[in-house]
Structure 1
Amino acid sequence: MIQTVYNIQDMYRLTGFEHQPLSDDFDIITHQETYPTTNKMVAAHRRDFFSIIYLESQQEGEMQINQDKHAHLNDILFFQSPQHVFSFVRGDSMKGFLIFFKPEFILPFSNDVISDFSYFRSSENNLFQLNQKEKEAFTGLFKAIDAEKEHTDVAKALLLALLEKARLLQQKHRTIEQAIPAEYQLVNNFKRLVNNHFIVEKSVEFYAEQLNMTANYLNNRIKAHTGKTAKEHIAHRTLMEAKNMLLYTGFDVAEISFRLHFSEPSYFGKFFKKHTQQTPKAFRLNR
């Protein structure tokens, strides 16, 4: 089953980052601070806390968000919750900030982070492109939090200000999304669900149920607008994760099979060869 990381320090161990968080329930760092120790690739996992990722520039590497492979990202803000499955391949020159916090950190101002700030919900849009004015505003907030990180009450107040500012950003993007045709909204919602459940849920029926429609209807609508069936999208997301683990980790094929929730390594091998015409071992050797 997919790995869950329960605290910030364990996440740093998972990623190879040699750093002690400010506390058990809060930390802020820059992407620049994570060099050179952080692993090149971190496999899909869940975090039992909240993350805010500001990426000012990404000249190399990629993030897996909403089933899409994102590279060369600039001025994006990403909100991650325990609902998300997250993985990344790390570039060599990323800039920006990362904030990690547990719900306890912002008590008593919020009793339910996902309800109060719905952009953390996996079914919502979690990735926002910032314009120049928004970039300046959020960069100022990140810098202020970083400057006051040793003063818990001040850092908490500034973090809440950032969360409230992000609510306004979400409202703006919702207005834009409402102008998008319903069929494209369906594709976006489907991709978000796949990205956050593909490790465990590989059947079209699961996603169709989440979207209140039949599996056949979902397959037809997704294929009509993307050229691929819903089943092919699920397989593609699984395959991307498998390739990244083969390329950037030392996990053997059996471990990768287990992490991707295949019942047997042989089933994973057949799946991989069907989609790549290579065995997992051959793919790794020929990289």
Structure 2
Amino acid sequence: MPSGLSPFAIGTFDEIGSFTRARFPHRHDFYEVLYLTGGGGVHVVDFEPYDIEPNSVYVLAPGQVHFWQDTEQIRGRVLVFAEEFLLAHPGGLLPAPGGSPLVRLRGDQVGLVDGILDDIDREYRAREPGYATMLQAHLHILLVHIQRLRRAHPSVPVSSSLVWRFTRLVAKHVLTERSVGAYAERIGVTAGHLTDLVRAALGTTPGAVIRAALALEAKRLLAQTDLTVVQIAHRLAFDDPSYFGRFFKRETGASPGDFRRDIREKYQIARER
């Protein structure tokens, strides 16, 4: 990329690298669009398993943990980019943290997404004058179409731009900020208005979103690292590890130790890493 532009790449799973098919929990600091055209097995995203099927699109946000299980001949394309590469604020284009990362394509939708990815791939490989701007435009079009497909599936929640900003802020700052009022101030609304927006878009409260984000980060650390429960409690800014244990069990239904054991046994994580 020319100087000053954020990272961007597109290619097959083999071209982007074997790490894209890693069988152990890992995460990235950039966005990924995964377009699967073939293969079998399970794609696990933040501990939710999704059966691998052709014509499936996953949009993964920075920080999400994912890995592959019992996979066979995964085929498709991988597109990676930084948030700063987008033409506009991504609030209306990308799924809110905690939402489903998956859209299954049907009928004409397959040709539509294939065509856009072909255009992106050609621009990326040819690198003619102005190609970076063309890539940004094509990426914007791709994300708009994916968001339209989300709206066509009632089971996939689509949030407003303000709610997206709130959930992204929580995902980025939950280790240091857990006040609903502080997030509302950052966004420029009252805490009451933020509560109304979150209830309407997600069917829950801002406080519940914050607690869920904190519990999810705890799950990620328990599955992905060998940190002790006490170390994880401190990493998550809990002064009292026993209180962290009670919080985690209240949010997830399991103790931290039980969760780590069960998730690693279920997905054979310890053996794969």
State TM-score, norm by structure 2: 0.60
- Which runs of structure 2 are paired with 1:105-124 in the superposition (5 Å)? 113-114=85-86, 116-118=87-89, 121=90, 123-124=91-92
Give the 3-state SS of the residue equivalent to 1:60 in structure 2.
strand
- Percent same amino acid at aligned positions? 20
User: Against the structure 1 CA distance between its residues 222 and 132, is the aligned structure 2 distance closer, same or farther, given a 3 Å change threshold?
Assistant: same
Q: Which amino acid aligns with 1:28?
A: I
Q: Which amino acid aligns with 2:77?
A: F
Q: Quick check: 1:26–1:99 contact (8 Å CA) kept in 2?
A: yes
Counterpart in 1 of 2:189?
212
- Larger mean CA deviation between 234-243 and 149-158 belongs to 149-158
Q: Quick check: 1:41–1:90 contact (8 Å CA) kept in 2?
A: yes
Q: Number of aligned residue pairs: give it.
A: 235
- Which runs of structure 2 are paired with 1:1-287 in the superposition (5 Å)? 25-31=7-13, 34-35=17-18, 38=22, 40-43=24-27, 46-47=29-30, 51-56=31-36, 59-63=41-45, 71-72=50-51, 75-76=56-57, 78=59, 85-92=62-69, 93=71, 95-101=75-81, 113-114=85-86, 116-118=87-89, 121=90, 123-127=91-95, 129=103, 130-143=105-118, 146=121, 151-153=126-128, 156=132, 159-160=135-136, 162-163=138-139, 165-166=141-142, 169=145, 189-190=162-163, 193-198=166-171, 199-200=174-175, 201-209=177-185, 210=187, 212-215=189-192, 218=195, 222=199, 226=203, 228-257=204-233, 259=235, 261-264=236-239, 266=241, 267-276=243-252, 278-287=254-263
Q: CA RMSD in A?
A: 4.7
Task: Determine the C-alpha separation between the residues in 2 that align with 1:271 and 1:160.
Answer: 42
Give the 3-state SS of the residue equivalent to 2:227 in structure 1.
coil
Superposed CA deviations along residues 134-164 of structure 1, whole A, max 9, x for unmatched, are 4324324435655775543386476345225
Task: Determine the C-alpha separation between the residues in 2 that align with 1:188 and 1:71.
Answer: 27
User: Against the structure 1 CA distance between its residues 269 and 187, is the aligned structure 2 distance closer, same or farther, given a 3 Å change threshold?
Assistant: farther
Unaligned runs of 5+ in 2: 1-5, 96-101, 264-273
User: Against the structure 1 CA distance between its residues 167 and 265, is the aligned structure 2 distance closer, same or farther, given a 3 Å change threshold?
Assistant: same
State TM-score, norm by structure 1: 0.57
Unaligned runs of 5+ in 1: 1-23, 104-111
Superposed CA deviations along residues 161-218 of structure 1, whole A, max 9, x for unmatched, are 52253376379579x69xx9xxx87678536632552334322223433262324871
Task: Determine the C-alpha separation between the residues in 2 that align with 1:249 and 1:220.
Answer: 35
Task: Determine the C-alpha separation between the residues in 2 that align with 1:276 and 1:102.
Answer: 31
